[in-house]
Amino acid sequence: MRSIPRTHPSCSSSDDYLVNV
């Protein structure tokens, strides 16, 4: 279980930031 940043680290948008949880 690792969080893969799609574009840039955004704590606001977790749905857009985290791809694989």
How far, in Å, CA of 2 to CA of 10, rounded? 15
The C-alpha angle 18, 5, 17, rounded to 5 degrees, equals 40
pTM, two decimals, is 0.11
Please give the radius of gyration of the chain, using alpha carbons only, rounded to the nearest integer.
Answer: 7
Q: Helices (H) and strands (E) in the chain — how many of each?
A: 1, 0
**pLDDT tens, 1-21?**
566 666 655 555 555 555 555
| The pLDDT value given to residue 21 | 52
φ and ψ at residue 14, rounded to 5 degrees: -80, -30
What token pair was written down for 11? 């704590």
